[in-house]
Structure 1
Amino acid sequence: MGRIYVEAQKEGAAYETGTQDNYRVRGLTGADARNTYGIAEKLALDKKDFQGIRDAYEFDPVAEKYIKVDPMKEARWYPTLTTLSDGKILSVSGLDDIGQLVPGKNEVYDPETKEWEYTDEVRQFPTYPALFLMQNGKIFYSGSNAGYGPDDVGRDPGVWDVETNKFKKIPGLSDAKLMETSNTVLLPPAQDETYMVIGGGGVGESPRSSEKTRIVDLKADDPAFVDGPPLDKGTRYPQASILPNDEVLISGGSEDYRGRGDSNILEARIYDTEKNELRRVADPLVGRNYHSGSILLPDGRVMFFGSDSLFADKANTKPGTFEQRIEIYTPPYLYGDEEQPDLSGGPQTIKRGGSGTFTSRDAASVKKVRLIRPSATTHVTDVDQRSIALDFTTDGDKVTVTVPKNKNLVQSGWYMLFVTDGDGTPSKAQWVQVP
């Protein structure tokens, strides 16, 4: 038995079958003709022209090589991987080997055995669901996603206990039908467990988009979304990067699907987490929509890259090309009269619950210390970035920092360590590994 991808000979609604059918195989005779046949799902107008694969790899950062491990149980194109409390990796969603959404068959990778196992229960999500590990070990799903899946399955935000498969919905989300291609960011500091959902659009190639931002405090007794300050326009694909001073830079996106109709938004704003306000900052020079991203750099600036517009003109007659220009944004905190605080030395590794001492001639002016996980961004999804507040003491030119003990808050890996002065100006980062 084999699986084969087929298409109708011509496009359009007239060539939909609407039913699952059996098909003969041409060229066979006798018993072969009677016993050999194909069973095909209905031919429909939705896209099924992508094939997932089962391959999985671990990356060795020392050898700079990918090492093949046990393949997944399911073929997945656009899977989402989330690190769980025990260090295992949860894989959800994606399109299978014939381009259909994997029907909630989630699986977990064990780094010790290098093998995958199904979770006990089924839970379905659209592709690229924004899943975040909470401090209590459960998973927060914001409702943000970036593509394929029915509009009435797996779209509700909530808190998911993977072990029991219990899912508690979170109410209050405005523009709940416009969450595709929205962005979700864990607002700094991460200990507060407050999230912002930014923009979004209708399911599929919908022209509809939302100007809403929505905020939810998961530490509240009864968490519920409330609206934050609105964007200027309905925005699909907004990019969001956490800054070392606890602000968030929000930029780009488009009003329509993949920038259709020349709808890229050349605007940027900084969100002030303390004042709950957006303020306009320098406009980007390049439109960014689908397949774009932004990452915080170790010097406190932000890099923007990519974009994949469907068309190159407002009339939608010329095919778009992939954007190869890169922009670097310099936040206002780097334009002050004073230089960035000095930071050097210190250990390259600090265990959870452990401390490390760094050198800074500006130690007396340090007001905040943040451990910021580097971004891993694609398709408006960046669930890795988080800014963790560190307790610290100063003594002369020494700054001693302490990393929290909670392994769900501080996941293993590399981080950028920033100190920030009273004016909100950050140092350049020191790289620190949490083993």
Structure 2
Amino acid sequence: MKSPRFAILVGVAAGAMLLISNTQLLRAQVQGAWTLTGNMSAARELGAQATLNDGNILVAGGTDGTNVLSSAEVYSPSSGEWTPTGSMAEARKSFPSVTLPDGRVLVTGGLDGSGSVLTGAELYDPASGTWSSAGMLVVGRYFHTATLLMSGQVLVAGGCTVSGCSTFTGESELYDPATNSWSPSGNLGTARWYHTATLLGSGQVLVVGGSNGSTLNSCELYDPVTDAWTSAPSTTYGRFLHAATLLGDGKVLVTGGNPFHVALAVAEIYDPSANQWTATGRMTQGRFAHTSTLLADGTVLLAAGGAFRGCGRTSCFYPTATSEIYDEATGKFTAIAHLNHARYYHTASLLSSGQVLIVGGISGGALDSAEFYVPLTLAIRPLSLDFGLLEVGLTSAPQTIAITNVSRSPVTFTSIASNGDYAQTADCPATLGPGQSCTVSVTFSPTVAGTRPGSVTLSDNSVGSPEQSIALTGTGEPTALTFIPSSLSFPPTFPGTSSAPKSATLYNDSAAAVDITVIAISPTSGTFSQTNNCPGTLTPGQSCTFQVVFTPPDSDAPYNGTLSVTNSVDGSPQTVSLSGTGVD
């Protein structure tokens, strides 16, 4: 028998537990999701991002939407925080960066705050946090590419040579870190900007698409041995503001792009050994000015970018928060979680943990936010378990968690553990192969009344997320041992005589047996006395009855007492209030 007040309290507690559980889940379950990290000190678009040899990330320059920036800052994946570092000598935007083999970072060209095209290049030294001159480009340029060659030299190619891109160049040039100097290199067959340049396994550089006032589908190959450019097969689709990614097998994936008022959803793969392009799967969303990052398992992450929609008689572009994964083995793109902020013209880096960091970009204005993606290795269903109400001392029926390895690599478990008032058993092998599944069975055994949070934690070698937590919720319910009525009031009784007996029944409404250890009336003067038919153990659903008699010694005053039953459950002892008055 439960009071309405108890039911309300339990309902509130259960609701609060659900809220706590969901909050824990959002913090713990990060695989396959985007998570915001520390904000930069300045909003940045059209800046440069480079991975340092210690795994930290450098961002430099760009524009905050009002001013072109010379500032730079460094992101620490371990702390999730940004730290200002030395500023460049020249503020610049729309320029590339390259991390050199010795750990320094080279930036070249760009546009300054007045719209002038820069010829200057600079080197960032992570050890000192300072910038120094890297000489002058032969041709000032922006929207160009910079590619680290196998020799350690840097190839700069194409780009715009005046603000507004009314003129552009096919000239390329080489930077030699050993001499800190620039020299002219072979010319592209077609001048272009907003193209991509990818270092192939052969040491050659593949340039794809771009614009020369018209969208290009032409491609070219640079051979560092001959220092010359030759034509390569054209892509099926002209594209600029696209992305190109070197795959693990040496092929190049090209995605998206903007051939004016269209966000391409088509993708193509270049095979260097066959020197040809092949169509592959269609993206889930057309996009341009996006990022494309090769993940540790060989799949490719495409993040955010620009898209188009109809605006009356014109087309309007907007940033998207969508992202997707490309799997070369199947040739398919699969939509995944949305970013927290829609953005385009952002930058991306693969962290040493296997996570991908996205920084800045535009979304109605320049962004200072950054977020990271953790690759999905283990699909876990469900992501939380709720055991509801259960009496203290009992054990629930098991609930099951299904775990599937959806990655291309084996997952090795180091431990599977539960905490709180929960126990688990798992049939997971030490190593779960790609496509394999296993289950974890969880039971709830509340030790005390109230909300009882807990979790199951999987520790493994998942890339970027070696711990996965499944939130557990449950509420312990006090064992229900109840007196009805809870008080007995006797009519006026002559002193020295006994009243007619009044009864009170003790109910065990729980699903557990209750041991009765002591039955007593206080005070022990004999004014109140009792008899009962209670056994030593009251089984679930069983009741017993107490017969109480009032024998007042005189008529001076009212008399009060308490019948108490001490037992093995929370809230012991259970009591009945006794009262009566003697009369002349």
TM-score w.r.t. length of structure 2:
0.43
Which residue pairs with 2:414 in the alignment? none
Worse overlay, 84-93 or 232-241: 84-93
Which residue pairs with 1:229 in the alignment? 233
Distance 2:164 2:100 in 1: 24
Which residue pairs with 2:301 in the alignment? 303
State the SS of the aligned residue for 2:171.
coil
Which residue pairs with 1:252 in the alignment? 256
1:67-89 Cα offsets, whole Å, 9 max, x none, are: 21222222223343222344322
Distance 1:158 1:374 in 2: 34
What runs of 5+ residues in structure 1 fail to find an aligned partner?
1-47, 336-370, 380-417, 420-426
Distance 1:142 1:297 in 2: 27
Which residue pairs with 1:127 in the alignment? 142
What runs of 5+ residues in structure 2 fail to find an aligned partner?
1-63, 333-351, 362-408, 411-433, 436-460, 465-584
Which residue pairs with 2:206 in the alignment? 196
Larger radius of gyration: 2
Alignment of 1:84 with 2:97, yes or no, is: no
2:329 to 328, 332, 338: 332
Distance 2:161 2:322 in 1: 23
Contact 1:93 1:101 in 2 (8 A): no
Q: Quickly say closer, same or farther: Cα 1:61–1:111, change in 2 above 3 A.
A: same
- Give the C-alpha shift of residue 194 in structure 1: 0.9
Which residue pairs with 2:314 in the alignment? 317
What is the one-letter code of the residue matched to 1:199? G
2:110 to 71, 74, 94: 94
Q: Quickly say closer, same or farther: Cα 1:106–1:323, change in 2 above 3 A.
A: same
Contact 1:146 1:180 in 2 (8 A): no
Alignment of 1:210 with 2:216, yes or no, is: yes
Q: Quickly say closer, same or farther: Cα 1:279–1:119, change in 2 above 3 A.
A: closer
Distance 2:139 2:251 in 1: 33
Contact 1:196 1:216 in 2 (8 A): yes
Contact 1:130 1:145 in 2 (8 A): no
- Give the C-alpha shift of residue 170 in structure 1: 1.0
Which residue pairs with 2:393 in the alignment? none
Which residue pairs with 2:198 in the alignment? 185
Distance 2:146 2:243 in 1: 17
1:61 to 69, 77, 81: 77
Distance 2:216 2:169 in 1: 20
- Give the C-alpha shift of residue 301 in structure 1: 1.8
State the SS of the aligned residue for 1:52.
coil
Alignment of 1:243 with 2:256, yes or no, is: no
- Give the C-alpha shift of residue 277 in structure 1: 1.6
Contact 2:162 2:168 in 1 (8 A): no
Contact 2:221 2:232 in 1 (8 A): yes
1:169-219 Cα offsets, whole Å, 9 max, x none, are: 214x3332xx212111112x2xx21111111112xxx4x11111111221x
How many corresponding residue pairs? 285
Q: Quickly say closer, same or farther: Cα 1:109–1:266, change in 2 above 3 A.
A: closer
Alignment of 1:165 with 2:181, yes or no, is: yes
What is the one-letter code of the residue matched to 2:83? I
Q: Quickly say closer, same or farther: Cα 1:329–1:144, change in 2 above 3 A.
A: farther
Which residue pairs with 2:264 in the alignment? 265
Q: Quickly say closer, same or farther: Cα 1:124–1:57, change in 2 above 3 A.
A: farther
What is the one-letter code of the residue matched to 1:160? Y
Distance 1:69 1:58 in 2: 7
Q: Which structure's residues are more often strand, by fraction?
A: 2
- Give the C-alpha shift of residue 316 in structure 1: 5.5
Contact 2:255 2:267 in 1 (8 A): yes
Contact 1:170 1:224 in 2 (8 A): yes
Task: Kindly report which structure 2 residues correspond to 1:381-400, keeping only aligned pairs within 5 A, or say none.
Answer: none
1:219-274 Cα offsets, whole Å, 9 max, x none, are: x3x23222222112322123222221222222221322xxx1xx333322222221
What is the one-letter code of the residue matched to 2:119? G
What is the one-letter code of the residue matched to 2:211? G
Contact 1:270 1:279 in 2 (8 A): yes
